[in-house]
Chain A
């Protein structure tokens, strides 16, 4: 299986060179958010795609990361890189604690519990006006910087965000191919069977939940510094659902699928702007068609489509 390193190298090359093509235009800015969304979708895919545990509260973890970074750096002038680490650790600790009772639940009940968690966090952002600035948001978050290099424009932010994204993708690919990855897939198929095989199901589920929250919070911190502004509306239930959609459209249980899902759903609305008022209808249609004809997600659907087309060409040749 030498294909993995090649695939990854190809991705890195494309990611590094993309600004040459897009630089200057606003798509550069959208690609920054593709990077952030990819982080989130990879995080959620570890939980949903590999371990088979749904979460409708991931926008909450994302938001916590963003708000912790925003508040500690803007109000208390703590070093942003340190805060990023603190935020990710704090959020994953929270997920770890909540994970024990919540992940005992299955199916719809788990969906409900994580949904509730997300909503509680959302309400907290709205109501704790003195700390979070309330519904109209919190501004004045500084840009990240290394020495004299300040990440204050799209190209710099692009490289900042994508270096995180590429590292996380690499780690996630490795994780999925390790013993832990196999154990997670075993849990997905049958918890009882996994337990019989000696997997500590309960602990592993909570651990992957915490890891997923860790990455989400990291994405949140990056988001806060890129936007220099955070508001609760960005972290609502709606966004949690959008993340789940990205995971499914991209391909459950595939790290590269997460990238495709995040890229498609982030870029598509921008591509469809030309259709003006009809963009939402076309957007919906594409989602329906994608789930109908590519049930395994883009990551399996696109090769299948290519495979169906290519042999025909060979016949002609």
Chain B
């Protein structure tokens, strides 16, 4: 009897194993994020979000019954590392597609590797040169700086302000913003009367602001990521600078309000819609995605989901849809990504085409104002 029972158990086990063996190999997706290092404020939420999305996909049975395996590497924000790791993902891990990297510099460094290997890459960095000129396998989800600049200039024009002072940080984000601020000024009839920069680690910007105070400027536009802009907000308050202060989407997170404190009041900035997800009208196409993302992120990580994480959410979801439609062959993924129309994600509503691999319009940004330590939509 005992033997029969054992045999039965063994048979059952084997029977249980067979479907497991028969199940297809997982779909392998690579991810490169600057999880540590100076750009970790981008890479950390991106990694968290990408893993969260993949876990959720797998919990619901994967894509067409196949599990998704996310292989994540930390680039430390270093272009050389990114280059080595993209090679690792392509050659050793044999991934079907890659999400990331986090910064424009790293993305520029590895574009050609992905293109040459024919592996679709969805970057989470903002630089417009990533998708201009368009490369067949390279996409991105972060909004172009040009769209944010357009939002601010539009508002200024409406308020009949034409003379602006720009104060930008001397890193990749700031120099890209400065380029756009200068390039688009003429289109909106803006005149840049002061064009100054500060270094990422500067702790006092009184000198630049004093110069601005002595100028004809009607508004100040500051382009940087934390903590610099908070210092500027405080310095402006201390100097009694009465000019309206505009910031970039680089500081559109709760952290900025915490850092700048009272000095943040009244500051206006363009932001992805994720900040004000609950304030958006019901008919907004992105509302559903946004609310889902914010709730999930809060649940998993006990922190506010920001638009950086959103870039990874968009990239992973875009990949999922493309694979659902056309399978996991890299070339098919790229072809399907290009056919994406009106995908309402976190960063905006994406519509790719053979000529546009960035896929967003200026609707991706809303202007928000900081009032009573919270965000308010500017109409």
- Chain A positions within 8 Å of B, measured between CB atoms, are 24-26, 28-30, 33, 126-127, 129, 134-137, 139, 154, 227-229, 231, 233-234, 270, 273, 280
Contacts and interface: CB of A to CB of B under 8 A. Distances in A.
A126 B175 CA distance: 9
Contacts of B197: 127
- Which 9 pairs, one residue from A and one from B, show the smallest C-beta to C-beta distance? A26-B88, A136-B172, A26-B87, A229-B109, A134-B175, A135-B172, A29-B87, A231-B105, A137-B105
B80 A234 contact: yes
Contact of B170 (A25, A30, A127): A127
Contact of A227 (B36, B80, B89, B91): B80
A165 to B, nearest CB: 17
A229 B112 CA distance: 10
Interface residues of B, number: 32
Interface in B171-195: 171-172, 174-176, 179
B79, B90, B174, B197 pick with most chain A CB within 10 angstroms: B79
A280 B74 CA distance: 11
A233 B80 CA distance: 10
B111 interface: yes
Interface in B72-106: 73, 77-80, 83-85, 87-92, 103-105
A207 B346 CA distance: 58
B87, B103, B179 pick with most chain A CB within 10 angstroms: B87
Nearest to A136: B172
The dominant DSSP class at the A interface is helix
Interface of B: 36, 73, 77-80, 83-85, 87-92, 103-105, 108-109, 111-112, 127, 129, 170-172, 174-176, 179, 197
B78 A137 contact: no
Contacts, number: 79
Contacts of B129: 136, 139
A25 B91 contact: yes
A127 B197 CA distance: 10
Contacts of B83: 29, 227, 229
A227 B109 contact: yes
Contacts of B77: 233
Given A136-B129, A228-B112, 5 more contacts: A25-B92, A136-B172, A139-B129, A229-B79, A234-B79
Given A29-B84, A135-B175, A137-B109, A234 B104 contact: no
Contacts of B91: 24-26, 29
A122 to B, nearest CB: 11
Nearest to A231: B105
A201 B103 CA distance: 47
Contacts of A134: 170, 172, 175
Given A129-B175, A227-B109, A233-B79, A136 B127 contact: yes
A29 B103 CA distance: 21
A273 B85 CA distance: 11
Contacts of A139: 108-109, 111, 129
A55 to B, nearest CB: 21
A232 B366 CA distance: 33
B100 to A, nearest CB: 16
